[in-house]
Structure 1
Amino acid sequence: MSRKHDEIEPKSVAELRVGTFRFIKNTKELLDAEGQTVPLRSQSADVLAYLADRPGDLVTKAELIEAVWPDTFVTDDSLVQCIGDIRRALGDKKQRLVQTYPKKGYRLVDTSAPGALRRPALSQASRRWALPAFGAMAAAVLILFAAWVYKGAADLPVDLGDKPRIAVLSFDDFSVGPDKGYLSDAIAEGVITELARSSRIAVIARNSSFRYRDSDADVRQIGQELGVHYIVEGSQQKSGDSLKVTVQLILAASGEHLWAHTYDQEIGSLFAVQDAIVKTVADRIGVRIERPVPGSDPAMVSALHFHLQGIAIIHDSFDEASNAKDLVLNRRAIEADPGSQFGYIGLAHGYRAAATFGWQGLERQEALRLGLQNAKKALRIAPDDAAVHFALARLYDESGDRAMAMASFDKAIALNPSASNYLVGSTNPMLYAGQAKEAVERLKQAMGIDPFHQDWFHWQMGWALWELQDCEGALAAMMKMKKIDRGAHRMLAGIYACLDQVEKAQEAYKVFYAEAHEPTISEQRAEWQDIWTAPGSLDRWLDDMRVAGMKD
């Protein structure tokens, strides 16, 4: 049974040597080689103190959480953040001092002990578990190897073509209190967007690079999993009107740090810092980006902050109440800075959602009008912002204006080629218009820049292949989904009907319409005939729906 930290009998020594550092146990103070105190957050110091009581031992995550947060419910994320904080304080980038045992826990190395940097031996039980697990792991590695077609030894750079490929990881957020949240992702996303605008760099999509948030994965492992040459990682700390951003450029194959810098600026200089990072990173990998340096703009940063709060609420819960809060926050963004695009972009998306789902007591056409009005205001302010054109594209798509939707999607993609969701979203109007081959190419492109793409990419590919009458390929695409949600079962029903698998088509059809209004064939034709204009596609779809169980 785990015991709380103050119940554990302390070791006889009052301090522990860890690398060139000393940890004073009774005061929970970390000292560097010169005897200077190294700052640690209180919870990080508590975690280090618990590990220091058991140097060389494997301490489970459950024990650490119970010891440091005895009366509070927390997830592993809180512990991972503390471990990351400790490693940064110790300069332990290679994890030699604080060692991770995946899915188990952590071990603190007492470097004054003989053989301190060796891993503890496995018990007999652990050996029995490890052997079959190794077989499964080897199989997984072989699958990954075949999927990525790596060439040469594992420690050599991956053959990725002519363009340098780069992944920007989510930045750590060391802000506290009301200053914590939102800006870290904004900085990293801005770097992704601006780097992607260069046709000479291939940038991994946010969805894939941000999945390593709070991960202990080594940069070399990340580099291979994402298939990149370079990795950018960093952190930000906002305190009042001050902003501190630290950033590093790393060679993925070796883990070598090519460049690192810390920016201490006023908060209004956020966009200038972002721009400086982009230009320096690009220059270091051999691509020069020349643009005017943004000036200081505190009001614009405030507007961005309100806009990002709205996005966080929508991501957490997509419903009418969240939509209302999102609209309020984006109106506050406009109040903070009427001359920046962020609030208008947020209102454009918010009103589109209101039109789609009948929220906020607005008639559909009125909600779409308000959405387009705000998107066009954003366009006048920031014609080169990819997010503006994406908002416009979605509104035009919802309004049934396919030509304008495609033009806006294309502009958004040109401005931010790393946005995999832009690419996949753009295939909607393409498929309705009969451009299925082009849609397949865009979907492949999206999957290429977003290796850990979401399930709906496969769903969209299923539709595209159905359009091309490759129903076997369409079914194979759908089966790649980790979980086929209820909403995807209508597409699955159409694919099974196309393959003459009537019973499976009817089963899938029933799943989709179990909690939804079931229309008739004639109602479906009336709803889609002006939108689904690809020659013969709507008739094929309605025939397949008839096979699946839809009444005339």
Structure 2
Amino acid sequence: MTREVKVRLGLFTYDTGLDCLLDEAGNQVSLRPQSAQVLSLLVDNIGQTVTKDDLISTVWQDVSVTDDSLTQCIADVRRALGDTDRRILKTRPKVGYQLSPTHQDTDQPETALMGGQSSGANAVSALVCIQPAHPKVQLALTTIKNEAASLGAGTHIPTKDDTVLFSFPDVMAAVRFALRLSASSNGQNCGIGVDLIPAGQTSKAAYDGARVAGLAGIAQEAQVVVSVEARDQCHAELDFDFEDLGQQILRTTNEDIRAFRVHANTSGARLMPDIAAEDLLPTIAVLPLRARIASADTNVIGEIMADDLIATLSRSADVNVISRLSTTAFRAQEASLDKIGDMLGADFVLSGTILTHDTHVGMMLQLSEVSTNKVLWAERVAVEVTDILNGIEAVEEIVAKVRKAIALNEIDRVRSRPISTLRNYSLLIGAVGLMYRFAPVDFNLAGEMLRTLIERVPNHPAALAWMARWYVLRVQQGWSGNPQEAAQQALGFSRKALDIDPENALALISEGNVLTHLLHQLDEAEERYDTALDINPNDASGRVLRGALFAFQGKGEEAKRDCEHALHLAPLDPHRFFFLSLASTASIAAEDYERAIALAKASIRLNRTHTSTLRVKAVAQMRLGDEEAARRTIQELLRLQPNLSVSAWLKNSPSANFELGRNFAATLREIGVPE
């Protein structure tokens, strides 16, 4: 560059006279020396690919470095620019890097083409050419100019022929104008072309409109045709739909370019995914967090948070998560919840705003259901910037609360509507929530819902696996008149699930549960749990159930390690009482009775009807010498399970053949449970 130029790079400006990067307020952005040199070299070759070898040899003269040093500098520059989608600093695979400006201003800018208007932070300017489809057609220039002016942006540029040329500081405004014109009476007899104004060419002399006129010449009557470059700038615009016309030769320049026809985007014109009935999971979309006060740093942090939330939700087995690249379309656009749900096929939307102040970040998040437009959960979250960059537990907590809100919403729905009217994912989520309430009415309703779901989708592993687990819980609560028959039914459901998907972690865990609690085949059960945890080491349910199995075998330390780790993985699980209960059992096996009582009490606070927890609490109390408290606990247990006896417990307990089980039975007798 021979003249001083200010190059617009997103929200920032590179001043070649000062040789530095400036933020929106004109303050210099700090970069490491090598990163600053890399950026300077890329600016000197703006719009061109600079090879890795050239960058390394220039920045690290006489110093031997690897590509990693350059990669780190490139990452620094992208971070400084907030270039999360790499549209400013582009990688040319196996070659090098190219810096693409959004606008350039010379030291004496010419504004004739732009009409003296500011292009905005990320706006890319464009031309619209309107060309008569037939020689006899007369364009109503005054009406067309008024139409452009109604958008508050279009500037008319006089031409020497019968075409009409406008400039817009924003390519999306240009396309909107073109589509609106094509649908009006003034656009019925003309073809319309849209093209970008190349960066750095800001006057009519620099760009005579021949290329955009060629695009208009391709268009038929009432059609809008754009260049591939213009299409790329509008990829995230929800109101546009592009039809590829392939390579086209422009008669005005004889240039061979890729062109697209633009249509107004309507949901009826889109081909929707053919989702199989077997897909039982609800779908959630996480939108980029909107900055309450726009700044590059805030936008970057909002993107990082959205990325982390999507990544964490994607590890959940109970929701489908819309991809990050799809939700990015809503980063800078206002859209109704209905439109978001329609465009993304989402049942729920997680959105919010973000505000930064010094080192603090404040977020207001809300989860909404698309079909009802109801906010299911909302919360303010405050964190430190460094915590966001390093990964934060707050993300795990947010995701847990989102999952819980969805589950509670579906439970409310299934209890208030006929089963036949419920969606599949409502049946699944609602059944799981109800069965763990351990209230007979809710539990039986959960079984009915799962059977209905299996009738609808007989070959889905999740429905079959949860049906198997329902039978296990029914026996454990003492509600099954024939435990052996229940065991075979449960095993049949779990085996069918594994026949369909041998590596389904949920099905493996459910079969391990059946083998442990109903058939007492602990070696085979441990194999199922191990396989499931190899597939997903962070499956809290598999880990706590394996911990319980170790406890039954008297392996106290292994049991406690698995169960306490499961508690760590499921801090806000809707069924946390169940995790606490099994962790209490593990503490009994480890002879840590104080911990066992603390865990049992925490479990009972969440669910007072889980009989296993009361048994463990009573035994721990007795072994600590508090016989009076133990007897009170047993009285409560017998109220819930009046037919309980030591012999019946031994018959059904997986620990009956181990020393832990025999000692447990002895303590129950000592407290007063009948033989």
TM-score normalised by L of structure 1: 0.46
Instruction: Judging by fraction of residues, say which structure has more strand.
Output: 2
Instruction: Judging by fraction of residues, say which structure has more helix.
Output: 1
Q: Which has the higher contact order (CA 8 A, sep 6+)?
A: 1
TM-score normalised by L of structure 2: 0.38
Please identify the structure whose Cα radius of gyration is greater. Answer: 2
